[in-house]
Amino acid sequence: MDRPTPRLPVFLNLAQIRFPIGAIASIAHRVAGVLLFIALPVVALMLDASLRTEAGFVAVRDLLSSPFWIATAAVLLWALVHHVLAGVRHLLMDVGVGSELVRARASARLVLVAAPALTLLFLVWGLT
């Protein structure tokens, strides 16, 4: 009786895999959620410090005016905008709106383009 030859493990190069646009939007949605979860305590503490005293407000304002914190705020703003847009996309798909493949791909592209665009718009509006 012949035994089947065992299959050897295959090297899976993740850098060469082309993810579908829906997967990219979904992974970015999860990354944005993790960033927001991690940032929430820091943002809450900064809000608390800024509301306690005038000196606390000035300290937080000065801290947030540095280029590093402006860039950090931009990333968190992107995370918030992307997470909201992708979340609405997922909720609509859950009830059957836009769940067809063509529309799902289009909505994923829309989220991936609209989130950075809205982030830049909010940043320009907020920094002027």
Amino acid at 128: T
Output DSSP code: residue 128.
-
Classify domain 21-127 by CATH number: 1.20.1300.10
* pLDDT tens, N- to C-terminus, the chain (128 residues): 677 777 877 878 878 888 999 999 999 999 999 999 999 999 999 999 999 999 999 999 999 999 999 999 999 999 999 999 999 999 999 999 999 999 999 999 999 999 999 999 999 998 77
User: What pLDDT is attached to residue 26?
Assistant: 96
Domain ranges of the chain: 21-127
Q: How many helices (H) and strands (E) does the chain have?
A: 4, 0
- Can you give the pTM of this predicted structure? 0.84
Output DSSP code: residue 11.
P
User: What pLDDT is attached to residue 59?
Assistant: 96
User: What pLDDT is attached to residue 128?
Assistant: 75
> Tokens standing for 115?
């989130």
User: What pLDDT is attached to residue 34?
Assistant: 98
